[in-house]
Amino acid sequence: MNIYESEFFCICPNNNIRVKYQLEIKTNKTIPVEEIIHEVQNINRGFHEKIADQLFCRFGGEQKLSADHHSVKITTIRT
């Protein structure tokens, strides 16, 4: 099992506030780090759940995406 963890920022489309995300991917595959970096750097705006769906479609595995949205913590899990 490989575990990849990354942090990135994205703009909330509702109020244009910058949100910090924490991503964890667990998979039996090998994912080049550069692919993760490239994918998250290209996410500029979006709703948390849609971002989770996008990352899951791209990398699969078991994923957890967490962020504090204006004092409400959201965690999504995709398997």
Burial of 55 (0-12, 13-18, 19+ CB in 10 A): buried
pLDDT score, position 24 = 98
> Residue range 50-56: average pLDDT?
97
Q: Is the pLDDT of residue 36 over 90?
A: yes
Q: What is the mean pLDDT of the chain?
A: 96
Q: Is the pLDDT of residue 70 over 90?
A: no
pLDDT score, position 16 = 94
What global pTM score does this model have?
0.93
2-78: CATH architecture: 2-Layer Sandwich (3.30)
**Model confidence over 6-32: pLDDT tens digits?**
999 999 999 999 999 999 999 999 999
Quote the tokens at residue 72. 């409400």
Parse the chain into domains and list their residue ranges.
2-78
Q: In what order do the strands lie in the sheet with 2-11?
A: 2-11, 18-27, 62-69, 72-78
